[in-house]
Amino acid sequence: MDTYVTRTGRPLFVDLDGTLIRGDLLWESLFHFARQQPLGFWRLFGWAFQGKAVLKDELAARTEIDAATLPYREEVVATLQAEREAGRPIILATASNERLAHAVSAHLGLFDEVMASDRTTNLSASRKLERIRARCDGEAFDYVGNSHDDVCLFEAAESATVVQPDRSARRWHGAATRPSRLITDTGSLARGMLKAMRPHQWTKNVLVFVPMALNHEFLDVPMALKALLAFICFSLAASSVYILNDLLDLAADRRHKTKRKRPFASGLVPIPVGLALAAGLFLSSFAIAAVLPWEFMATLAFYMVATTAYSFALKRMLLIDVLTLAGLYTTRIIAGAMAIDSNESFWLLAFSIFFFLSLALVKRFVEIMDFGGGANRSSTGRGYVDVDLDTVGQAGMASGFAAVMVLALYIDSAEVRELYSHPYLLWPLCPLVLYIIVRIWVLARRNHMHEDPVVFIMHDWRSQIMMVLGACMFLVAAYA
């Protein structure tokens, strides 16, 4: 990486939010507070009514943001290191609260001074310029910033560095007559937004087609269209929840060896953009659901309430989290039945609960393994510690075997004898499901499971073969 160094003794003032880091500490503080104190979220309105400076101060006092895990811009940090080695005075000048600014300064060790907002002053735009001019006593200075609030500082500075600019800052840079430098990200915002939606997770929503398949209504076009619309609704709704979940999990994701590369944890997608995207997906989902039976919309609404509760609180509760996940998968099946106006089977729901509980426990098992021997509640962001590993594994295997037992009882039930011409042809389903469950647990214990178990099953060719064989057995048993 080439480092740009200015050969001058002029003081260099550096903005923090969006400039030194990819992100905004006010937004991050908001979501940290929402995660830690969801029932106290109403207090934000009172603080905001007193002014932005008070809001920032109250949030900074009540949240802990690890400065070591923030998504720093490597090129900016490298430039500051080179300037410091050249003996140039560097000052962190930010609208973020002073507590957070001093934490960043202490972590990086690059700044001679810190200027930041306090409880009475929100140090942005013209207020920041006044403070800098007072500090320089009329002498020239250079500035590094990124937004429309920084345009007045670009104008006053001897030279400016514009980092990943918004529209106003980019317009200023394009028309600037004084020395200026541009630093931009290489990542694509659109690609980051798509990644934040996690379209690969939409394969889970194939579960809404299960009731239609089990009713042998493959050629009913209106019913298939309703199931397709239900699939789209759940995909859009699920993506909105994934975004909210990622925003609430910023701190835990940044401590994780792979999740820290997610669009929000890495700072590729700004939090306000994520909120707008989540709102659009949510509204689109319910707009489409309006053309389906009201029972489906009610089920979708229940799903959204449950997933929101999961994101805010339930995911950090021991065992409640995995039971909730199993219930959410089963809710997809119920929603599929509601969309086509069909009655869901008790056997199907019982199998679903045990099967997906096993997969949810796989997910927690892998997370505990990833954090290693020192895993605790604060590091994992869950209700589990390292000594829970064996218990989680045993419970997961037992739940998987219970699912197969329910399947066996279903195959031997009166309902199956009424639906299928040759029900004995369904018995091989039991070893096929056993293969899928035991194999995924073997891979998890080998630490070879690095994605959501449900998504893994949908994309794993061996599991796909088992599912195709199972589908063929259903067809032969029904129509042979």
Q: What is the pLDDT of residues 94-105, one digit of tens each?
A: 999 999 999 999
CA geometry: angle 393, 399, 402, nearest 5 deg: 145
- Taking phi first (over 0 means left), then psi (-120 to 50 degrees means alpha), and beta for anything else, what does residue 384 get? beta
pLDDT in tens, 160-193: 999 999 999 999 999 988 788 999 987 789 999 9
Token pair 């893994």 is found at 456
Q: What is the pLDDT of residue 249?
A: 86
Q: What is the pLDDT of residue 252?
A: 83
More confident of the two residues 431 and 176 = 431
pLDDT of 36 over the 70 cut: yes
Q: Among 106, 456, 72, 59, which Cα is nearest to 260's?
A: 72
pLDDT in tens, 95-145: 999 999 999 999 999 999 999 999 999 999 999 999 999 999 889 999 999
pLDDT of 91 over the 50 cut: yes
Q: Is the pTM of this model over 0.85?
A: no
More confident of the two residues 1 and 469 = 469
pLDDT in tens, 403-420: 999 999 988 888 788 777
Query: Matching CATH topology for 12-183 and 189-479?
Result: no
Q: What is the pLDDT of residue 454?
A: 83
Query: Percentage of the chain with pLDDT > 70?
Result: 96
Q: How far is it, in rounded angstroms, from Cα 80 to Cα 21?
A: 13
Cα dihedral 189→242→451→28 (10° resolution): 70
Q: What is the pLDDT of residue 383?
A: 74
Q: How far is it, in rounded angstroms, from Cα 350 to Cα 258?
A: 34
Q: How far is it, in rounded angstroms, from Cα 338 to Cα 173?
A: 56
pLDDT of 201 over the 60 cut: yes
Q: Which CATH topology does 189-479 take?
A: Farnesyl Diphosphate Synthase (1.10.600)
Q: Are 152 and 171 in contact (CB under 8 A)?
A: no
**What integer is the mean pLDDT of 430-441?**
94
Query: Please, which pLDDT band fits residue 381 given cuts at 50, 70 and 90?
Result: low
Report CA-CA distances (Å) from 252 to 11, 197, 277. Answer: 36, 19, 22
**What integer is the mean pLDDT of 256-265?**
88
Phi then psi dihedrals of residue 257, to 5 deg: -70, -25
pLDDT in tens, 42-88: 899 999 999 999 999 999 999 989 999 999 999 999 999 999 999 99
Token pair 């050249």 is found at 86
pLDDT in tens, 222-259: 899 999 999 999 999 999 999 998 998 888 888 888 88
- Answer whether CATH 3.30.420.40 is correct for domain 12-183: no
